Structure 1
Amino acid sequence: MAPRNSRTAHPAVSQQIEQMLRARSIEFDFEPNVQISEIRDAEGNQVRLTEHRAPKDQITRYAVAMKHGAQFPAIVLNDRLERIDGNTRLEARIRNGDTTIPAYICHGLTPLEARSLSVELNQSNGLAMTEQEIRRFVDGAVLEGQHADIRSLSRMTGVSDTKIARWIAETQFKARAGREGIEDRHVNVLPPSTRAALHAARLATVFRAITQLAAEARIPAAEAKKVVAKANAAPSESEALTIVAAERDARLEEIRAVGSGFSPRNNRRSQGSAQHIGGLVRFEVDDLLDVAPEKQFETYQRMKLLRDRLNDVVRRAEEEWNLTPPSDETEGRFSDQSD
């Protein structure tokens, strides 16, 4: 969109800024003499933290350079003359006693569009934004219900698309946990990467169950991701919850350790098979035979395959494992679970 009042000969005109505005289909005017007294500093249009805007030492350098004839690009404002970009340039002009400043006036911007433009302008021309500031921008957009284009955000901010995707998933997880009534004590103990992994759970019931389990057992992100994937692949909600319940059974020692104030031991070896076996022993014979007619043949083939594999597993376990009988206490606990 071409500017209506552009003065291409003016030294404050910036082809880079104009290209950026056109790429976003933003209508704008170039005004060489905006009255500084009319410019407003309104919250919601910029992402940079207030304490990081216009550092004093940089204002001094800009002011001195301006006095010696240095030319700087025009600042950027919305059509209410609220700041979007150019805090240091503006403050330097004020320090020098100037009453006007060249500016691009952008029309019809929403606060989110203004913040997005502010990020890109700062990353391209000014002092690069901190990761905290960029994260606040991404979080704010997600909480407003925006659907992020991760590649565009990565290009605009310089943050990897993997990290931005993780930020988005974590923010969505926290919002979802709030809606689902999950207690803060369960949310707060989870590291960001685990929160991001848990957000992938499709069903609300599974999301609640697996989040509570991850918090109580301190499940690492990589392992939480595997459990979520298995639950998502389950053909029904009940079977998905069975997978989570089996995982809880397999992690009882870890849950008890955490509950007693200790870190869980790293005993994750073979937990995948323990999880599936734990799920199977929850079913009675009649439960396993309760299969829709159209799926009976397929299920029968799978059961035969499982039977053959279990026969091999039992044979090798008899040869390779230490099968010393468990104590009475342990044996009783297993009997209670399998009855």
Structure 2
Amino acid sequence: MSFESRIQRAWQHRGLLSTLLLPLSALYCAVVTRRRRTFLQAPPPPLPLPVVVVGNVTVGGTGKTPMVIRLCEWLREQGWRPGVVSRGYGGGGSDRPLRVTECSSATDAGDEPLLIALRARVPVSVCADRVAAVRALLADDACDIVVADDGMQHYRLPRDVEIAMLDGRRRLGNGRCLPAGPLREPASRLQEVDFVVSTEGEPAAGEYGMALHLDAAWSLADSSQRRQPSDFSGTTVHAVAGIGNPERFFAALEAAGLHIVRHAFPDHHRYRAEELVFGDGAPVLMTEKDAVKCLEFAPSDCWAVPASAELPAALTAALDERLRKLRNGQETA
């Protein structure tokens, strides 16, 4: 188990270490609360197009990237031209906007923005300043609506809709802010967002449940080669995941009937070729987020297993109503 996984597990309980860290947690909570209050008192000027923020109040994987990808696909189906902005975590972290294309590298753009650009086929701009990233898309007339990937705490970015992602099993952990718990902001922040979307487990009252499912795996050596995850059943495979919640990926593979050897890495891990060589000839299955960083050196029998989100009809109906009002308001302004 990786250090990150052990921390995530510790944050599920109010043990001795968490209690000892409470003074730092209280300080952190006070700082983020004051920062949010400052922006609410003097909010940034609105942008000339709707902005939908997808984020979370907890540290760790919540299904945010699959949500952004599916949301962009759904928006295009409704007649919108979506674009995505992101900080580009795991990339160069430049203060100048970078347009992400299929030819970009994860080193420059970040793993999640590159995956979104490849899967959703939408314009993606990354920058530490998300407002500058939006303006770069506007300058190219690239979109008429923006989805901000992981932008809930970036208050300089105006937003019209906030979608908070939540792990339905881990929920809010021990309910404490960093570093005593997994919360980036106090739990009360969830009462201020427009939609709370829960992955796995049973959604609580007022939440929307989002299903995640595995799609056909593709070969890193030849992306035209496809195999269903169940095709690997009956043999041992190495499962590689450097995401916020590796166990979700491992459990999904096991649910498909695979016998796996777990290899959990820290979120946004930068792989070396030798880390994917296990010496037994068994296939290697990894998440797409990991795969986009390993295309140049992955072993021949290495496969990426995409995860796709299924948005509940109640959520898309409510979101469609909200966006129609925004669009009508802009047209009459």
Q: TM-score normalized by structure 1? A: 0.20
Q: Which has the higher contact order (CA 8 A, sep 6+)?
A: 2
Structure with greater proportional strand content = 2
